[in-house]
Each structure stands twice: as structure tokens, then as C-alpha cells.
Structure 1
Amino acid sequence: MSIDRILDKAVAGRRIDVEECVTLFESDQVEKIGQAANLVMQRWNPEPITTFVVGRNINYTNICDVYCRFCAFYRAPGKEDGYVLPTETILQKIQETVDVGGTEILMQGGTNPNLPFTYYTDLLREIKRHFDITMHSFSPAEIMKMVEVSGGLSLEEVIRQLKEAGLDSIPGGGAEILDDRTRSKISKLKGSWRDWMNVMQTAHGLGMNTTATMVIGFGESMEERALHLLRVRDAQDDCLEKGLPSKGFLAFIPWTFQPDNTNLKKERATPEEYLKTLAISRLMIDNVPHFQSSWVTMGPEVGKLSLSYGADDFGSTMMEENVVSAAGATHKVNIELIIRLIREAGKIPAQRNTKYEILKIFGETASVDKDFVMQN
């Protein structure tokens, strides 16, 4: 079946449906799909600028009672190698981030049943007392655990208190596949796709921005992938149509399941499958402004190539990352390498903050500070 009609439709700004999305996933015309996604990306981001954020992942605990089959990072409660980082260690890691010009902390861990809700609010307040840094932290699953241990607080009240304590935005981790058939196979204790979305939509209602993710390679069907994209698009529609004090999902980040050291034995998705998924996501989700490259799982060279398949952002420098690394993804990059890779892709590198506001544009040979912050 020719996919030209579907691609022309998306490039023209008309929405594609689930059936058309499945047709694209079943196609082997990866380059053609990528070209269309690149045109859509350029409509959103007409300047040849690729952004990145200087940030650090801090995995504050590895204790988790959800037992996802695809995770090589977690340790069950009571295990000897389980940990909770001391607050002093967390503050030291943030200081190291600030010292190199970092602006974002992505703090995530397991769903630790031994930590009371006050642990999170006290920690956020302590961080904000020492640092002016954006806390883009805690996945929906962690927030649902906070609701569970809070002693009767509602989801809305938990997020409100987190925000008041210093949480700035919520990352999209834990989405995996937003369909309950696959979720029940790989992570049946983690909650339904609706649970994940409820956290995000509640945060949007409270004025917080978030991101959304998708992980492929669990054995999910092409229809489930398409439904995942549709559900993100529908939730973004809901946020924008209601005129909420939030921009909803600022970015979408797809990546591939990393099988090493996990209890879920699947073949690693190919770079072609990743690039096709990224491109289709950009075509299907027509209301989210930014799409991130996933160099952490795919490597810097595929990350560079993704900038021709719909991505306009290179993600975070990720000074520290332990979760996907535990499953065999060992790619690391620094600021200099990110700048070089973006230039090699024919783009202009620029450092951004979590809100996708550009802080610094890098010239051909040296960084060029701008006297203004331009909204991207």
C-alpha cells in the first residue's frame, strides 16, 4: 500500500488516524517517512536550531515494589543492595551540575514504599533553599506511590504540595506503552495507562508542564503504538482546548527497550525501527512542539541522524544516568560532543532550559551569549 497519501495529509497539517498510523508502522519506507516528519518539524521549528539542556539525572533510590520485568535497575524492598541517597549526596550532585552551567535536575527512583510523602516535600524544599535550579522530577508511578503513602491525600493535593515545595515539571517516564494489554504483561503492578495519564492531566490542571515518552520493543502491536500516540495527542488537545495554565506536554521522547540484565527477553529494536517510530510520532502528534532525540539508548550517531527524522532537540547532557545503563545502554556524551554532533547534522546548537527557552546559541567555533532569551 502506498503511504504517500498519508504522508501528504500529515505534511499539509491534517490529522492522521489510528489506522493510517498503523499503516505507517507497517511500512518499510523509513526514509520517506523521515522526510515527511522533518517537514512537520520545520513547521514547528523553522530556524535550523537544535537545542539541548545541561542537566543531570539523580536516581535517589533504587528500592521499588513494582517489579517491572523490563527494569534492571530496581531492588526489591529489604534487599541488601537497595539504597536511598543521603540528602547531602544529592545536594553535592546538584552543586556539581550547577558548577558546569546545569539548569535541570531529573530526579527519579523506584516506587519506594518506605519513604513517607514528607520525604519528597522536605527534600524539594532543601534543594530549593540551596539552589535556583529546575526540578524536572518524579515519574507518574512515583507520584502515585506518594499518594498511596500520604495518608489519604488526593492526587491533586499531592501534586499541589510537591509544586509548592519546589517541583517545577514532571517527566514522562513510566509511560512505556499506553495500553493495558502490554502493560499487564510487562508491569502489571505499575498501574493502567489511565493512571499515568491522570497524573499528567492533573499536573496540567495545576499549571505544570510535563513531557511524554514511549518505549517500543516489548512485543506490543502496531495498533498499540498508534493508540499510545493518539492518547498523548488527545490529552494535549484537552489541555489546550480548556485553556489551562499549562502548555501541557512540551516534548515527546520515544526510545527503545534495552533488554540486557532484565527479566524480559526481547530482541533489541534496530536503529531503523527507532527512527521510523520517532518520525511517525512527529506526524501523529501534531500538537506537541518538541521532539527529543534518544541518544542515551541509540548512541550519538543515531542521535545525530534523528535530527533528520523529526527531532529538534538533543535532550539532556545527562551527567549521570543509572536506569537504562543498568540494562545495557552505555552511551555517554558531554556538552562539547553534543555541540559537534548537532553541527555535523547541519544545525545550529543552542542550550535551552526546561521550558525550551534558549539560553545560549553556539557559533561556529565558540559560544555566543545572547542578550536576550528567545522563546523557542
Structure 2
Amino acid sequence: MNNHERQARFREIREKVEAEQRLSLDEGIFLYDPQVPLQEVGELANLVRERKNGNVGYYNINTHLNPTNVCVYRCRFCAFRSDLRDPKGYAMSDEQILHRGQEAHENGCTEMHIVGGLHHQRPYEWYRHVIELLAENYPKIHLKAWTAVEINWFEFQTKKSIRWVLEDLQQAGLGSMPGGGAEIFHPEVRDQLCEHKANTHEWLKIHQTAHEVGLRTNCTMLYGHVEQAYHRIDHLIRLRELQDRTGGFQVFIPLAFHPENTKLSDIKKPSALMDLRTMAVSRLMLDNVQHVKAYWIMLGIETAQTALAYGADDIDGTVRHELIYHDAGATTPECLSVDQIRQLIQEAGREPVERDTVYNRVHRESQDLTDWTTGEPVAAG
């Protein structure tokens, strides 16, 4: 394709986006062509971003909790997992978990993001207990917990249905689910990365069931390893198709692969240009997902800030105690203050708005961090 043909093709895509028409797989792959100017793809993504979310940059005050890093799986891209007898292996006690809950409360967190390893000596009841313990002691904090991979493991442990597991966790205090474990759906890639854990069908089925029982969930894509543009667009279309059926995905997070300390350490991590192109293409392909998040932990602060002009409307939050990506070589800070987060958003020319996990506005009327209330959905303006 020569330059004239490329420009004509991009004009056709622009016209479709302006008319709010859906892009095809071939059009998505075309947008990944390095010969297609990134600036133009970004401008088009920003059009969609502002049409959906105005000039707002969302953030939240959150903390991560990884109750154990012991895991039966040995995914090639993971630097977090540990064997049971490895010196770095751990499983947190009730006291440690409650201490994290108290710390989250004192720092005004509205959310705890809870994921971990699949510990073969800890029954399902232990994982459920983590949720119940926090919900009973810190009922105001939203518990976003357990990826589809973990739910699949609980299904295996209990010999119960996905629906039973999810409804049981809801009774314990589960508020929503993160989007981890999706990686790349296409079997050509997934089988290379994580052949034994929850497959694509199971991941999608679990999120569909979560939506059916009233749980909102996030969705993700891990890029920048052994996949190609085709695999990324195929992944996005599968998410889009499920969203057409359920409407239960609230935000998409493209996750940049960090190779350090993994079995893929010979791979160079994605460039900032690839990060921004993936952000923009994701915003253009996922026409039915309201929010796209630039996860600063993985992207780096500067790239995440720039991504607010390339389709992203959310920069995540303060993110205390993140381990998974720091174990894989992320050099970002362990935590950002609210003032730092707000400044990043303002420097990008956006209006910072604090939201909770399910995208309601958070109101804080005093300097007391524990004094906050949840208000109207952000879409209400």
C-alpha cells in the first residue's frame, strides 16, 4: 500500500468514527501499521474519548492486596508467583489482612484491589474468608477481587458452578471483579504464555456470568510480548462482542508487558509509542466500553499522562502496595499521593474527578481522609 492509498484508507476510517460506526478487524490492524501516523490515530481516539467522557480525567484512592504469591501455575510472563518452599513465598494471616484494611481506611481508600496466586494448600474457603473478613470490618471499602483465573480455580476446588461461586462471594462482600488473566485470547499466543490456566472460553464465560449476577467487571489485554497486531485486534473484538451481549464491562485497561524477572526476559518491553498506539486503537475499537484506563504503574507516569490525549480518560489511583508489576521490573513509584495524581491530570489539560470503583463520584467535605461519601454516577456530569 502506497502513501496515497494509506491516506485514503485512513480518511474512510475517520469518516466511520465521526459517524459513530463500528470499525472492523482489518481496519483495526491497519491502525497498527507504523506507517499510519500515530498523531492522527491519537487525534481520532481523542475524538471518541471526549465524545464519551468530555474533558475529565478520572482517578480513585485505592490500595492493592495480594494475599499470597504461591501459585500452582507457571505462566511465562509472571515474575510475581512463587513456589511453596521458595523463600519469597508467603500467605498472609488474618492480622496482616486486617492491618492492610485499617491502613486503607485511614488513607481514605474507596477500593481494595485483591488478587493473588492459586495456593494449592489453601481451600476456596480461605479466599472467601479474605473477602468476608474485610467486608465485615471495613464495610465502606469496595472490594474488587479475584480475576477470572482465580474464579476458575475456585470452580475446580469447590466442584460448584461459576454462578454458585460468584453468588457465594457476593454474599461474603465481593463488589466487583478486576480484568486480569485475559492476557491475549488467541490460542496461538495464549498457549505460549499460559497454556494450563483458564482458557479464553472460560475467561469470557466467567465475566458473562458475573455480569448476569449483577457484578460489574473490568477487562484487560496484555500486549508487547509474542503477539502481533492481528492477535490484539482479535482480542479487542472478542471483548466487544461480549460487551454487546451483557454491557457489564465498565473499563478497559491495556497492560504493557514488563519482561524483567520473567521467562520472557529476552524480550524488549513495549516503547512509549507502542503504548500510545495501543491505547488509541483500543479506544477506537471498543466503541461500547465507556472508559479506557492508562495504568500509570505499568506505563510510567509520563506515558500515562500523555495517554489522556490518546483515548484514555482514567489514570487509575494512588495504588498502594502494588507487587505484581514491580516484581517484573516496573520502576514507577510504589504509591502516588492524591495531590500528585490530580496534578498529573491537570498538567495534561484535563479536569481531575475522583470516582469510586463503579464510576460514581466521590465527595470529600473535610480534611479527614476517612470522611467521604459516594454520589451520582459520573456520566451524570
- TM-score, length basis structure 2: 0.91
CA distance in 2: counterparts of 1:123 and 1:217, whole angstroms: 33
CA distance in 1: counterparts of 2:126 and 2:151, whole angstroms: 12
Q: 1:334 aligns with which of 337, 355, 372?
A: 337
Residue 211 of structure 2 aligns to a residue whose secondary structure is: helix
Q: Is the 8 A contact 1:67 1:76 kept in 2?
A: no
Please name the residue that 1:243 is paired with. none
Q: Give the gaps of 5 or more residues in structure 1.
A: 241-247, 363-368
Q: 2:65 aligns with which of 58, 65, 68?
A: 58
Q: 1:125 aligns with which of 117, 129, 132?
A: 132
Identity %: 33
AA in 2 matched with 1:40 = V
In structure 2, the CA distance between the partners of 1:372 and 1:226, relative to structure 1 (3 Å rule), is closer
Please name the residue that 2:252 is paired with. 252
Q: Is the 8 A contact 2:317 2:341 kept in 1?
A: no
- TM-score, length basis structure 1: 0.93
Aligned length: 361
The answer to whether residue 367 in structure 2 is matched with residue 359 in structure 1 is: no
Measured after TM superposition, the shift of residue 309 of structure 1 is: 0.4
Q: 1:22 aligns with which of 17, 21, 29?
A: 29
In structure 2, the CA distance between the partners of 1:374 and 1:230, relative to structure 1 (3 Å rule), is closer
Measured after TM superposition, the shift of residue 372 of structure 1 is: 5.3
Please name the residue that 2:111 is paired with. 104
Q: Is the 8 A contact 1:169 1:210 kept in 2?
A: yes
Measured after TM superposition, the shift of residue 82 of structure 1 is: 1.4
Please name the residue that 1:193 is paired with. 200
Residue 67 of structure 2 aligns to a residue whose secondary structure is: coil
In structure 2, the CA distance between the partners of 1:39 and 1:161, relative to structure 1 (3 Å rule), is same
Residue 179 of structure 2 aligns to a residue whose secondary structure is: coil
Q: Is the 8 A contact 1:37 1:309 kept in 2?
A: yes
Q: 1:45 aligns with which of 41, 53, 76?
A: 53
Q: Is the 8 A contact 1:182 1:218 kept in 2?
A: no
Question: Counterparts of 1:114-263 in structure 2 under 5 Å?
Answer: 114-132=121-139, 133-150=141-158, 152-240=159-247, 248-263=248-263
CA distance in 2: counterparts of 1:370 and 1:354, whole angstroms: 13
CA distance in 2: counterparts of 1:260 and 1:371, whole angstroms: 39
Please name the residue that 1:88 is paired with. 95
Q: Is the 8 A contact 2:97 2:130 kept in 1?
A: no
Q: Is the 8 A contact 1:179 1:192 kept in 2?
A: no
Q: Could you list the runs of 4 or more consecutive aligned residues of structure 1 that deviate by over 6 angstroms after TM superposition?
A: none
1:28-57 deviation line (CA, Å, top 9, x unaligned) = 4111101101110111112x2211010011
Please name the residue that 1:274 is paired with. 275
Identify the range of structure 1 (57-66 vs 3-12) with the bigger mean alpha-carbon deviation. Answer: 3-12
CA distance in 1: counterparts of 2:352 and 2:80, whole angstroms: 32
Measured after TM superposition, the shift of residue 370 of structure 1 is: 9.7
Q: Is the 8 A contact 2:149 2:197 kept in 1?
A: yes
Identify the range of structure 1 (24-33 vs 58-67) with the bigger mean alpha-carbon deviation. Answer: 24-33
Q: Is the 8 A contact 1:351 1:361 kept in 2?
A: no
Identify the range of structure 1 (52-61 vs 69-78) with the bigger mean alpha-carbon deviation. Answer: 69-78
Residue 162 of structure 1 aligns to a residue whose secondary structure is: helix
Please name the residue that 2:294 is paired with. 293
CA distance in 1: counterparts of 2:27 and 2:222, whole angstroms: 20
